[in-house]
Structure 1
Amino acid sequence: MRLILALVLPFVVFFTINRPFQGIFCLLLQITVIGWIPAAIWAVYALGQYKTDKKIRDIVGK
């Protein structure tokens, strides 16, 4: 679900993974038509990093 959201509304993904400052910056980038594609790529990348970090935290037990 978050992956689809990352493609449609990239800035919202940053708010769902507790990164509000990056979400605001992504919104500013997304406002421009040219910036939409980099914003979507950035959101997908950040979502992948979030999932990886979450798996590592689950394994370590923190």
Structure 2
Amino acid sequence: MMTLIAIFFPCISFLLRGKILTSLLCLILQLTLIGWLPAAIWAVISLQNSRADRRNARLIKAMRNR
């Protein structure tokens, strides 16, 4: 679900994750017709990196509690 939002509404994807300034910059980029595609790619990559960071944090926590 969040990936589709990142593709079709890149600035909202950043806003929903609490990155207000990044969302504003993405919106400015998205307003240009040429900039929409890079904004969508940026949002999807950022979303994937965020998911990987959360996964790694859970793994590190599990290893420390072991």
Specify the SS of the correspondent of 2:33.
coil
- With the length of structure 2 as denominator, give the TM-score of the two structures: 0.85
Q: Radius of gyration: which is bigger?
A: 2
Alpha carbon RMSD of aligned pairs, Å?
Answer: 0.9
* Correspondence for 2:14: 14
User: What is the CA deviation profile of residues 27-59 of structure 1, one whole-angstrom value per residue up to 9, with x for unaligned ones?
Assistant: 000011110000000000000100000101111
Does residue 27 of structure 1 match 2:22? Answer: no
Specify the SS of the correspondent of 1:18.
coil
**Whole-Å Cα distance in 2 between the matches of residues 31 and 6 of structure 1?**
15
Task: State percent identity of aligned pairs.
Answer: 34
Higher relative contact order (CA 8 A, sep 6+): 1
Count, aligned residues: 61
Q: 2:43 is matched by which residue type in structure 1?
A: A
Does residue 36 of structure 1 match 2:30? Answer: no
- Once superposed, which parts of structure 1, at least 4 consecutive aligned residues long, lie more than 3 Å away? none
Structure 2: gaps spanning 5 or more residues: 62-66
